[in-house]
Amino acid sequence: MHMSISDTMNISLLAANDQQAQHNRQQFDAWGLFCINVMSSPGAGKTILLEQTLRALHGTHAMAVLEGDMTTQLDAQRLTGLGVPVVPITTGRACHLDAAMVSTGLSLLRQQCDPASLDLLWVENVGNLVCPAEFAVGEHCKLALLSVTEGEDKPLKYPVMFREADCVLITKVDLLPHVPADLGRMGRHVRQINPHCGVFPVSALTGAGLGDWLAWLGQQLLAQGRHHRNPPQHPGGLQRPSVTVT
């Protein structure tokens, strides 16, 4: 007689990734570093934001970057010369970074520096608005970018990414005069899905809004009980004009 047995599991489908992410997170915490997972569609401005942020925090924060890219090391090359260790992670076919890839990146990073001496670890994910949101890498903070050229409806069309984000930067606001985008509507669409995340309009090109983004980041670090290794030379970060979302 055929007898079927049922085992109740109730575990995450992504348990394998979640466990590795948990392990990465424990390492970050043991090293005392804060890890930020930077996500967006291709070309929304992740790398240039990192360039500007690394420059702004140079001298006050010890940092490193894990650079996810499907096939090239072009983004990693752009960031070298900014005085921080950069580890390229080519993902090949995979359209997102997963926790195991980040773990491999961490092993490579350890050949370049002692992670315990770092304050911030930036992880630039593969350009993709869909799946990076589901694959935790052990980060403390998820940052999503959305450029004004992508259209106001994108938060509603790719809601999981914007729901998961702790902070959303609306990028390329210097292009607003040239594109039919309503910054207020774009910001409201983000807030419809994620009422409590930080939303800051920025331009990495002109520097507008970067001070607000850096102030938000500073608050997160303070809330985590992390302090500047050296006092900032220019209190308040970049002093630049800011744009606000209403």
Partner 1 sequence: MHEVDMTRCLLQALEDWRDQHPVQPCVEQVHLLVGEFTCVEPSQLRLSFAAAVKDTWLAAAQLSITSVPLVGKCLVCGNSYRPDPACGYASPCCGHPMETILSGRELKIQRIDYS
Ligand X SMILES: Nc1nc2c(ncn2[C@@H]2O[C@H](COP(=O)(O)OP(=O)(O)OP(=O)(O)O)[C@@H](O)[C@H]2O)c(=O)[nH]1
Judged by beta carbon, residue 131 or residue 205, the one nearer partner 1 is 131
150 is a site residue for partner 1 (CB under 8 A): no
If one asks whether residue 61 binds partner 1 (CB under 8 A), the answer comes out as: no
Q: Residue 20 or 125: which CB sits closer to ligand X?
A: 125
| Residues 75/79/80/85 CA torsion (nearest 10 deg) | -100
Binder of partner 1 out of 70, 94, 183, 215 (CB under 8 A): 94
Binding status of residue 16 toward partner 1 by CB under 8 A: yes
Judged by DSSP in three states, 119 sits in coil
Cβ count near 60 (within 10 Å): 17
- Of residues 47, 74, 79, the one with CA closest to residue 64: 79
Within 13 Å, how many C-alpha atoms sit on residue 69's CB side?
17
Q: In what order do the strands lie in the sheet with 198-201?
A: 86-90, 63-69, 120-124, 34-39, 141-147, 167-171, 198-201
Q: Determine if 96 is a binding residue for Mg ion (CB under 5 A).
A: no
3-state secondary structure of 161: helix
Q: Which stretch binds Mg ion (CB under 5 A): 34-42, 43-51, 79-87, 231-239?
A: 43-51
The Cα 134–Cα 14 span in angstroms is: 9
Please give the residues from 213 up to 232 whose contact with partner 1 meets the rule CB under 8 A: none
Contact flag: residue 108 with partner 1 (CB under 8 A): no
Minimum distance, C-beta of residue 75 to Mg ion, in the bound complex (Å): 4
For Mg ion, the binding residues (CB under 5 A) are 46-47, 75
- Please give the residue ranges that form the binding site for partner 1 (CB under 8 A): 2-17, 93-96, 98, 130-131, 133-135, 156-157, 159-160, 163, 188-189, 191-193, 195
